[in-house]
């Protein structure tokens, strides 16, 4: 976790929405940690880590033995969180891997962007990541796994949070590349991070839209498999 002396200078965020999460970004960090999610500081108003990278490692303090990156330094310890976030209004990064999360990031296109030709031809109604997910779910014969913790992003997209499947380590995907799910859908897992609700980018807040009556668990071959099994909120991992 960063100390106050380690952060780089970052621009002060622009005027912000009123109090999207009680207690501002510190409250946001504590709330995420209370859910068992490992957090680390991002530059105020930005998406980039406030912790030093490998190239600038001083090889002192927490890095005395070897450099530790944000994924290793992310924490659920409220004392370390209070200490770090009392220094500056850092945005809140959630390290998905140690948090055992897979987050589906449904994006909206910029004005000059549109679905690629295969989508245009096959599914003319598709306009954004949410639409693509709906089509994928329909093709897989599964309901959209929407009854889960959901955050609206600063750019108008959605983050759907799922428990990572057991026995396999999922990593990030981007759009349709490689194992990606589709146009305007990214996934964040090991090696990935998402901004927690209460973070602010360009003056706009990430906001909790739904906490979900259940916490969905996602299958590692989704959407091809029937991997939408769910666990009740009393599950030990969900407290």
Residue numbers at the binding site for Zn ion (CB under 5 A): 57, 63, 67
Determine contact, residues 44/10, Cβ cutoff 8 Å: yes
- Shortest separation between residue 190's beta carbon and Zn ion, angstroms: 20
CA 96 to chain centre: 7
Work out whether strand 38-42 and strand 230-231 pair parallel, antiparallel, or are unpaired.
Answer: unpaired
Helices (H), the chain: 24-34, 70-73, 78-85, 117-122, 129-140
- Shortest separation between residue 93's beta carbon and Zn ion, angstroms: 16
Q: Which is nearer to Zn ion, 83 or 231 (CB)?
A: 83
Residue with tokens 């589709």: 182
Structure-block tokens of residue 139: 């093709």
**Dihedral sign of CA atoms 117, 122, 125, 129 in order:** negative
Structure-block tokens of residue 83: 């200490």
Q: Which is nearer to Zn ion, 67 or 214 (CB)?
A: 67
Determine contact, residues 172/180, Cβ cutoff 8 Å: no
Q: Which is nearer to Zn ion, 57 or 135 (CB)?
A: 57
- Shortest separation between residue 69's beta carbon and Zn ion, angstroms: 8
Determine contact, residues 83/19, Cβ cutoff 8 Å: no
- Shortest separation between residue 68's beta carbon and Zn ion, angstroms: 6
Q: Which is nearer to Zn ion, 68 or 189 (CB)?
A: 68
Q: Which is nearer to Zn ion, 57 or 208 (CB)?
A: 57
Q: How far is residue 167's CA from residue 20's CA, in Å, rounded to a whole number?
A: 36
Q: Which is nearer to Zn ion, 67 or 127 (CB)?
A: 67
- Shortest separation between residue 52's beta carbon and Zn ion, angstroms: 6
- Shortest separation between residue 66's beta carbon and Zn ion, angstroms: 8
Residue with tokens 């096959």: 122
């Amino acid at each position: 976790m960063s100390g106050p002396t380690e952060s780089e200078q970052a621009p002060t965020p622009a005027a912000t929405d009123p109090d999207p999460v009680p207690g501002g970004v510190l409250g946001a960090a504590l709330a995420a940690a209370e859910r068992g999610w490992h957090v680390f500081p991002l530059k105020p108003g930005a998406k980039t880590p406030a912790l030093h990278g490998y190239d600038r490692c001083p090889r002192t303090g927490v890095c005395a033995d070897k450099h530790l990156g944000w994924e290793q330094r992310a924490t659920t310890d409220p004392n370390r969180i209070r200490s770090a976030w009392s220094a500056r209004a850092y945005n809140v990064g959630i390290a998905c891997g140690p948090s055992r999360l897979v987050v589906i990031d449904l994006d909206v296109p910029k004005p000059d962007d549109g679905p690629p030709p295969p989508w245009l031809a096959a599914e003319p109604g598709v306009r954004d990541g949410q639409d693509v997910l709906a089509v994928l779910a329909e093709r897989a014969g599964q309901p959209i796994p929407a009854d889960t913790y959901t955050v609206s992003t600063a750019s108008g997209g959605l983050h759907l949070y799922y428990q990572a499947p057991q026995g396999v380590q999922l990593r990030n995907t981007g759009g349709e590349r490689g194992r990606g799910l589709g146009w305007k859908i990214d996934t964040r897992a090991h090696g990935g991070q998402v901004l927690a609700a209460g973070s602010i980018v360009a003056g706009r807040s990430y906001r909790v839209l739904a906490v979900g009556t259940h916490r969905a668990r996602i299958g590692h071959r989704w959407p091809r498999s029937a991997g939408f099994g769910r666990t009740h909120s009393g599950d030990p991992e969900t407290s």
